[in-house]
C-alpha cells in the first residue's frame, strides 16, 4: 500500500512494527518547528520523536537563500533539496511519512508538497501529527537522529506549480485565484505578528488552514471536496494559488485539495512576506 496524502497513527505504528510487510522501506521525518523559537524543533526532537525518524529544519533544509520577492522562507534550489533528501535517508524507493505538531501546517505539508513536486508520490503526512502519535500510544525515541545519509536524490522541482511574486502581480482573474491560508484576523489586517505590514493581496480569498480540520484531523475527502468546490465556484482546482505568510501553511491547502481528489493547485512561494517586500505594491484590508 502506498500512502500519498495522509496516514493515521495506528497504520504507521503497525508498519513500523512489521517493516517487512511493506513493499517499500519507510522513511519517517519530524518537521516540528516554532517560528518564534528556531531552536525549539531540535530540542523537541531530542526530547522525543517517532522511532527511527530523521529531523528536517524549515529554515535550513526546506528554505533557500533570499532573492527579491522570496519572502521569509524562499524556495530552495534543486541541488540543495536533493542533498537534504539524501541526508534524511530518502531514496526513490522510500515511503515517506512526515509529521509536525501543528496538524501538518508547520512544516509537514511543506515537505510533502516539495516531495510531490519532486515527483515522489509515496509521501504522506501523519494525520494529527505528534499529538496523534502520542494519543495512540506510539513508541517514543529520544536523542539525535541515527539515519544514515543516502546521498543526493537526483531530481528537479516541477516549477509549473510554483508562482513567484511577479507571477502573482500579473495573475488575471481568469487565470487563477489566490487563497490565503492565514487566520482571518491576519487576512483582514487586524493583527500581524510576523510581518512588517498587515493585510492581504488584493483580490485574494481567505480560507484559514484550520478549516481543513475537524478535531485536529483532516476532514473527509468528500467534505473537503464540497468545501473547495464551493470556494472555487466553478473554477478548476489548478486555478487555485495557495498563499499564507511565507509559503509554509499554504501547503496545508495543497495537501487538503489532493486528499479531496483535486490536483494541480499551485503555491505562491513568497506569499504575504514576499508581496510586501516592495512598498509600492497595493495592500487590501478588511
Q: What's the confidence (pLDDT) of residue 23? A: 78
> Mean pLDDT score of the chain, rounded to an integer?
97
Percent of the chain, pLDDT > 70? Answer: 99
- The active-site residue out of 213, 240, 244, 251 is 244
Report whether pLDDT(142) > 90. Answer: yes
Asked if residue 24 belongs to a domain, the reply is yes
Domain enclosing residue 239, as ranges: 159-275
Report whether pLDDT(137) > 80. Answer: yes
Catalytic residue list contains 251: no
Report whether pLDDT(73) > 70. Answer: yes
The pTM is what? Answer: 0.97
The total of structural domains in the chain comes to 2
Q: What's the confidence (pLDDT) of residue 21? A: 66
Asked if residue 148 belongs to a domain, the reply is no
- Listed residues 135, 168, 198: the one ending a domain: 135
pLDDT band at 134 (very low <50, low <70, confident <90, very high): very high
CB 85 within 8 A of CB 181: no
Residues 202 and 163 in one domain: yes
Residues 37 and 103 in one domain: yes
Spatial strand order of the sheet with 123-126 comes to 6-7, 123-126, 95-99, 26-30, 54-55
CB 286 within 8 A of CB 199: no
Percent of the chain, pLDDT > 90? Answer: 97
86-133 tens-digit pLDDT:
999 999 999 999 999 999 999 999 999 999 999 999 999 999 999 999
10-47 tens-digit pLDDT:
999 999 998 776 679 999 999 999 999 999 999 999 99
pLDDT band at 228 (very low <50, low <70, confident <90, very high): very high
Q: What's the confidence (pLDDT) of residue 1? A: 72
Tell me how far apart the alpha carbons of residues 286 and 74 are, in angstroms, rounded to a whole number.
Answer: 27
CATH number reported for the structural domain that contains residue 35 in this entry = 3.40.250.10
Long-range contacts of 217-221, Cβ-Cβ distance < 8 Å, separation of 24 or more: 217/103, 217/127, 217/128, 217/132, 218/6, 218/104, 218/127, 218/255, 218/256, 218/259, 219/256, 221/259, 221/260, 221/261
Residues 128 and 164 in one domain: no
Amino acid at each position: 500500500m502506498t500512502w500519498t496524502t495522509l496516514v493515521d497513527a495506528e497504520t504507521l505504528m503497525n508498519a513500523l512494527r512489521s517493516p517487512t510487510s511493506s513493499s517499500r522501506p519507510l522513511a519517517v521525518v519530524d518537521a516540528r518547528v516554532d517560528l518564534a523559537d528556531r531552536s525549539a524543533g531540535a530540542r523537541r526532537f531530542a526530547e522525543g520523536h517517532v522511532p527511527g525518524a530523521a529531523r528536517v529544519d524549515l529554515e535550513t533544509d526546506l528554505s533557500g537563500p533570499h532573492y527579491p520577492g522570496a519572502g521569509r522562507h524562499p524556495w530552495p534550489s534543486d541541488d540543495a533539496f536533493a542533498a537534504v533528501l539524501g541526508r534524511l535517508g530518502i531514496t526513490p524507493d522510500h515511503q515517506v511519512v512526515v509529521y509536525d505538531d501543528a496538524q501538518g501546517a508547520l512544516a509537514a505539508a511543506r515537505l510533502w508538497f516539495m516531495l510531490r513536486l519532486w515527483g515522489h508520490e509515496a509521501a504522506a503526512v501523519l494525520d494529527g501529527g505528534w499529538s496523534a502519535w502520542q494519543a495512540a500510544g506510539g513508541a517514543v525515541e529520544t536523542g539525535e537522529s541515527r539515519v544514515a545519509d543516502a546521498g543526493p536524490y537526483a531530481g528537479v522541482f516541477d516549477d509549473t506549480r510554483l508562482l513567484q511574486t511577479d507571477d502573482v502581480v500579473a495573475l488575471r482573474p481568469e487565470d487563477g485565484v489566490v487563497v490565503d491560508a492565514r487566520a482571518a484576523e491576519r487576512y483582514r489586517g487586524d493583527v500581524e505578528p510576523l510581518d512588517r505590514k498587515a493585510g492581504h493581496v488584493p483580490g485574494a480569498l481567505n480560507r484559514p488552514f484550520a478549516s481543513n480540520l475537524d478535531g485536529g484531523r483532516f476532514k473527509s475527502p468528500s467534505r473537503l471536496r464540497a468545501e473547495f468546490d464551493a470556494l472555487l465556484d466553478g473554477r478548476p482546482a489548478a486555478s487555485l494559488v495557495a498563499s499564507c505568510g511565507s509559503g509554509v501553511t499554504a501547503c496545508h491547502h495543497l495537501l487538503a485539495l489532493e486528499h479531496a481528489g483535486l490536483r494541480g493547485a499551485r503555491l505562491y512561494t513568497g506569499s504575504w512576506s514576499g508581496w510586501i517586500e516592495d512598498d509600492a505594491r497595493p495592500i487590501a484590508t478588511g
